Amino acid sequence: MKTNGDQELAWTVLGDGSRREILALLTRDPLAVGEIADRLPISRPAVSQHLKVLKDAGVVADQQHGTRRVYSVNAAALSALRDQLETFWSRTLDGFAETATQSINAEQDETND
């Protein structure tokens, strides 16, 4: 994933539960459309549509194997999303820690007065 726009698109497409389920399956093994459809309560055409959206967002990649197209996770894309989450939580928790420290210091100042 090259830009924040790419990451935003990836987060948007992962907002769908079926797409997250498909991605979860693909994190275990590369699979063809039929194999994914066999494991989920959605139709093969629906799986194909979800895979197209995931591929367009750069989250999955496909490769031709004979007459089958096999899908796999784009590890670099997921790594970029993970990095974005880690940055978010690091900043959020740092802010929380700072606020908590200020609150504790303010309480100590009040009790010392």
CA atoms within 13 A on the CB side of 60: 32
Provide the pLDDT for residue 5. 57
Tokens 């799986």, residue?
Answer: 47
- Is there a contact between 11 and 81 (Cβ–Cβ < 8 Å)? yes
- For 31: left if phi > 0, alpha if psi spans -120 to 50, otherwise beta; the answer is beta
Provide the pLDDT for residue 53. 96
Provide the pLDDT for residue 101. 82
Three-class DSSP category at 74: coil
Q: Tell me, what DSSP letter sits at residue 3? A: S
CATH of domain 4-112: 1.10.10.10
Per-residue pLDDT of the chain (113 residues; tens, 9 = 90+): 455 556 776 778 888 999 999 999 999 999 999 999 999 999 999 999 999 999 999 999 999 999 999 999 998 888 766 776 677 667 778 788 788 888 888 778 777 76
